Amino acid sequence: MVRIRTAAIFATLTVFLAPAITFAAGLPSQIVTCTGVKCSVCDLAQLAQNVLNTGIYIAVFLSAVLFAYAGGKMAFAQGNMSEISAARSMFTNVAIGLVIILAGWLVVDTVMRTLVVSDTSFGPWNRICNTTADIPTEHFYV
């Protein structure tokens, strides 16, 4: 019993600490980048990018957890067809939700790149102050 508990703790720590150890946890250090009450257009664009990135990371993480839960539910169904059907339905719903979220991100990213970047090449739209000089950067109050 102690060996199972130790293995479970080790597996849990490995799953949760592996991205941080390999520096794969790419969440922004802070969502709001401006300090004080005065924020520029650059800060607003960076805020939008940070919110989108954080949402995508959270959605992918939760999808992985739900896929694992549905797989466990299917594995422990023991031939009960209603449980297997419920697990398949969960797999399908999570996959459809993840596709909708990623497609939404793709649409927003494409529209923002089209509207913000002035030349024909697609670059990072959240760096509008670094790439285009014709956009005013006066401060506004949030």
What is the per-residue pLDDT across 84-139, written as a single tens digit (0 to 9) for each?
999 999 999 999 999 999 898 888 877 877 776 665 555 555 555 654 444 444 44
Instruction: Supply φ then ψ for residue 141, to 5 degrees.
Output: -95, 135
The structure tokens 């067809």 sit at: 81
List C-alpha distances in Å: 59 to 5, 26, 32, 95. 29, 14, 20, 11
List C-alpha distances in Å: 53 to 67, 72, 81. 21, 29, 39
Entry pTM = 0.62
pLDDT band at 13 (very low <50, low <70, confident <90, very high): low
Question: Cα torsion at 131, 135, 138, 139 (round to 10°)?
Answer: -60
Tell me the domain boundaries of the chain. Answer: 24-141
What is the per-residue pLDDT across 69-88, written as a single tens digit (0 to 9) for each?
999 999 998 889 999 999 99
